[in-house]
Amino acid sequence: MSKHYYIGLMSGTSLDAIDAALVSFNADRIELVHSLSATLPATLKTQILELCGGTADEIELLGKLDRELGELFAQTALDLCRSAGISPLEIRAIGSHGQTVRHRPPDAQRSNDLAFTLQIGDPNTIAEISGITTVADFRRRDIAAGGQGAPLVPAFHVAAFSQAGIERLIVNIGGMANISLLKADGEVIGFDTGPGNVLMDSWIMHCQGHAFDRDGAWAQSGKLNQDLLETLLQDPYYAMHGPKSTGREQFNLAQLLKALESLADIRPPDVQATLLELTARSICDAIDECSQKDSEVFICGGGSANQALYSRIQALLADHKVATTEALGIHPDWVEAAAFAWLAKQNIMSLAGNVPAVTGAKGPRVLGAVYPG
C-alpha cells in the first residue's frame, strides 16, 4: 500500500515553539518521517500570555493573533516540507492543534456555565498560504458531546504505543502534564494530572528572565520547602477523579505568588525545587493510584528533557520500568505533533479521534473541521 503523508502542528501551553511533524501512515504502521521546531517570536508569546490572562480589547487582540499565528503555522508546515524534501502536493492534510487561549471544561462547581475551549491560529489562513487541506478545531466537538475536550492524545497513544497483554503508561509533560494508561486488556484511562512545566517556567521567567530551567539546574540548586509543597497540593484539582483536564486558568504565576504570600520568605531556588517536586509528585501519585506497580512508563514532551525532573520521576516510580517514548520509536519531542497528524488522518477517514472514557464525551466523535487547500 502507498504511504499517506500528514503534518501535525502543535503549539502547547509552554509557548516555547511550534512543533511540526511529518508522519506517514501505511496500514497500521506509523512513521515519523521528519520534524522541525519554529520558535515563537518573543513579542507574539507576550501577547498570547496577555490574551490568556485577560486583557483590555480582547476581541481585537484575539483576531490579530489568530491571523498572525495562522501565517506562522502555514510557514512552519511549508518549511517542514522543504526540509524533508517533499512537495506540499504530497501532503494529504495538516492537523493543527492551534494555540489554546482559554479552556473551561465541564466543572461540577460551575454547573450552570456552558463549558468551552478556544484555540487560535486561523486554519483558513493555513490552508490558503500552504495550499494544503487543513484540519483544525479538534477539541470543541468533544466539548459539545459533554466531554472535557482534553486530553486528546490518548487515542493516538493507543494507535502508536499499545501492545496486547502489556500495561503501559504514556506520560506527556508539556505546560500541563497528562497520562494515558493503556491497560493489558485494552482499556484506556487518561487525564491531566496538573502542572507540567508551566509553574517552573513561569517562576524562572519571573525571577531570572529565562524561558525554562535547563536540565532542572536551578531547581537542583535549591531545597524542597515542605510547607509550600503542602500548600500547593491543597488545590482541589488533585483530589478530583477523571475525566478531568486543566490549563493556565488554574495553574499560573498569580496562583503561585498568592500561595507564597502566606508563607515565610523562601529563597527563589527553593521555590523552583518545590515546583519540580510538585510536578513529579502529582504525576507519580496519579500513576500509583491507577496502575499496576510493574507497568511500563514512557515519558514524552518537553519535560522529558529536564534531567532533574526525569530522575525524580524515576526515583518515585522505582517499581516501574521508566524510559522515554524513543524506546517505542518516536522521539519524545515530537509525540504531540505526531498525534495531531494522526487526528487529521482520523478526520479525513471519518473515524473517531476521542476516547470517551478519557474525556467523558457521550460517545466516539470525528473531531475537527476541514478547510480545503
| pLDDT tens-digit series, residues 114-164 | 999 999 999 999 999 999 999 999 999 999 999 999 999 999 999 999 999
What does pLDDT average to over the chain?
A: 95
Asked if residue 66 belongs to a known ligand binding site, the reply is no
Cα angle 38, 42, 47 (rounded to 5 degrees) comes to 110
Distance of alpha carbon 61 from alpha carbon 65, whole angstroms? 6
What mean pLDDT comes out for the span 29-51?
94
pLDDT tens by residue, 212-228: 999 999 999 999 999 99
Cα angle 176, 314, 268 (rounded to 5 degrees) comes to 55
Output the furthest CA–CA distance in the chain (Å, rounded). 65
Q: Is there a cis peptide before residue 151, judged by omega within 30 degrees of 0?
A: yes
Asked if residue 17 belongs to a known ligand binding site, the reply is yes
Q: Which domains does the chain have, with CATH numbers?
A: 4-149+334-371 (3.30.420.40), 154-328 (3.30.420.40)
The share of the chain scoring above pLDDT 70, in percent, equals: 98
* Confidence band of 338 (pLDDT split at 50, 70, 90): very high
Asked if residue 108 belongs to a known ligand binding site, the reply is no
At 109 the pLDDT is 56
- Enumerate residues 6+ apart whose C-beta is below 8 A from 225: 263, 266, 270, 271, 273, 274
Write the single-letter amino acid at 54. Answer: G
Asked if residue 15 belongs to a known ligand binding site, the reply is yes
Residue 212 has phi, psi (to 5 degrees) of: -160, 165
Distance of alpha carbon 288 from alpha carbon 303, whole angstroms? 20
What mean pLDDT comes out for the span 303-310?
97
Asked if residue 16 belongs to a known ligand binding site, the reply is yes
Residue 166 has phi, psi (to 5 degrees) of: -125, 130
The share of the chain scoring above pLDDT 90, in percent, equals: 91
Asked if residue 12 belongs to a known ligand binding site, the reply is yes
pLDDT at 112 > cutoff 80: no
At 24 the pLDDT is 97
Q: Which of the 8 DSSP states describes residue 369?
A: E
What mean pLDDT comes out for the span 308-331?
97
For the sheet containing 176-182, what is the strand order? 188-195, 176-182, 168-173, 296-300, 321-324
